[in-house]
């Protein structure tokens, strides 16, 4: 992907460092790999490398709203350009749940085993043809002056009947992507997952706005 135009760089005023508002090193690597193609002169660093900053309250009702909240907070705290994502699983049979509550659906943020157990219980008795779902992601890039861009993406699939695989995180062991028949997201190698993931599609959409 080509380097962003001078107008785009001037508008966003990114400088040479972008802070990634996450504590997940996998996200930092993925964001740097994809956005780095559009921003080859920019260094991406995790916010935890720059200090101990308070986490903002993610009270948005959409993934884009929560990504924006986190990116704006990181930009304010560090004085740097910032990028953040928010993502989750939307299950049709559950009318879109867990949605923006995905990470804390069972009550404790990031408790993957409890979240997956709650999902299996909620889907008990739902036939295969009604187990359609999708991972959704929004990624927001914010400059210190508040200018911003947002990219969104999705990965279509279905909820399995039991967890399989040890890779990934979150609901990956229960999610069967349409693009990889016979494998859950947790059974994919990192490169396979990154090539189809909702975050990949969101980052590609964001990168396209910089190209």
User: Is 105 strand, coil or helix?
Assistant: coil
Cα–Cα distance between 119 and 57 in angstroms, integer?
Answer: 24
Does the N-terminal peptide bond of residue 194 adopt cis geometry, omega within 30 degrees of 0? no
What pTM does this model have?
0.86
Half-sphere exposure of 131 (CA within 13 A, CB side): 21
| Residue 51 phi, psi dihedral angles, 5° rounding | 150, 180
Query: Would you state the pLDDT for residue 14?
Result: 66
Percent of the chain at pLDDT above 70?
A: 92
Cα–Cα distance between 140 and 69 in angstroms, integer?
Answer: 9
Taking the CA atoms of residue 161, residue 164, residue 169 and residue 174 in that order, the dihedral angle to the nearest 10 degrees is -20
Query: What would the pLDDT profile of 58-115 be if each residue is shown by its tens digit?
Result: 999 999 999 999 999 999 999 999 999 999 999 999 999 999 999 999 999 889 999 9
The residues carrying an active-site annotation are 86
Residue 16: Cβ within 10 Å count: 10
Domains of the chain, first to last: 6-210 (3.90.950.10)
User: Is 119 strand, coil or helix?
Assistant: helix
**25 falls in which pLDDT band (50, 70, 90)?**
confident
pLDDT at 40 over 60: yes
């Amino acid at each position: 992907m080509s380097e962003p135009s001078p107008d785009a760089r001037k508008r966003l005023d990114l400088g040479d460092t972008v802070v990634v508002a996450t504590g997940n090193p996998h996200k930092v690597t993925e964001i740097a790999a994809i956005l780095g193609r559009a921003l080859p002169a920019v260094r991406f660093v995790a916010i935890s490398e720059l200090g101990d900053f308070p986490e903002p309250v993610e009270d948005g009702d959409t993934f884009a709203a929560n990504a924006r909240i986190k990116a704006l907070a990181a930009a304010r705290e560090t004085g740097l350009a910032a990028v953040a994502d928010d993502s989750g699983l939307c299950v049709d049979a559950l009318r879109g749940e867990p949605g923006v509550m995905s990470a804390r659906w069972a009550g404790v943020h990031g408790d993957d085993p409890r979240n997956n157990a709650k999902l299996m219980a909620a889907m008990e008795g739902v036939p295969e043809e009604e187990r359609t779902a999708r991972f959704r992601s929004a990624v927001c890039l914010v400059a210190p002056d508040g200018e911003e861009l947002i990219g969104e993406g999705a990965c279509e699939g279905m909820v399995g009947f039991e967890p399989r695989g040890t890779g990934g995180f979150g609901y990956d062991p229960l999610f069967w992507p349409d693009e990889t028949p016979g494998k859950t997201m947790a059974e994919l190698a990192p490169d396979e997952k990154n090539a189809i993931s909702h975050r990949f599609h969101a980052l590609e959409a964001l990168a396209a706005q910089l190209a």
